[in-house]
Amino acid sequence: GENVEQHPSTLSVQEGDSAVIKCTYSDSASNYFPWYKQELGKRPQLIIDIRSNVGEKKDQRIAVTLNKTAKHFSLHITETQPEDSAVYFCAARDLNTGFQKLVFGTGTRLLVSP
């Protein structure tokens, strides 16, 4: 089955810096890669996703890149703000199985200091 590894487990940056979180996946059949943000005490919420037919996707200060050959994808946050502080989870799913089995990474705790 699919296995998703996520690094780093914690990341501290200064406000205004960029942050990059990386994930690798094992199943080459996986073709959908969402990122979820979980603020302290809250539920995970989707912030961006990418499909395998696209190499990069951007939404304001957030971007995700995908390298299918290397089987890794990354979340990029530019001009970080204190409200970006949260735990971020990557996930991978094999859409070809016909059901929504999402496999999550172990999470990255991002701390943005003012």
Which residues of this protein are in contact with other proteins, per CB under 8 A?
A: 1, 6, 9, 32, 34, 42-46, 49, 51, 89, 93, 95, 98-107
Q: How far is the CB of 114 from other proteins (least distance, A)?
A: 26
We find the least distance from the C-beta atom of residue 91 to other proteins, in angstroms, to be 8
Q: Which is nearer to other proteins, 42 or 82 (CB)?
A: 42
DSSP calls for 42-80: S--EEEEEEETT-SEEEETTEEEEEETTTTEEEEEE-S-
Nearest to 2 by CA among 107, 108, 69, 102: 102
Shortest distance (Å) from residue 105 CB to other proteins: 6
Nearer residue to other proteins within complex by CB, 84 or 94: 94
Contacts of 53 (CB under 8 A, 6+ apart): 31
Beta-carbon neighbour count of residue 54 at 10 Å?
Answer: 12
Burial class for 42, CB neighbours closer than 10 Å (0-12, 13-18, 19+): exposed
Shorter beta-carbon distance to other proteins: residue 6 or 74: 6
User: With respect to other proteins, which residue has the nearer C-beta, 11 or 32?
Assistant: 32
Give least dist CB 94 to other proteins, A: 10
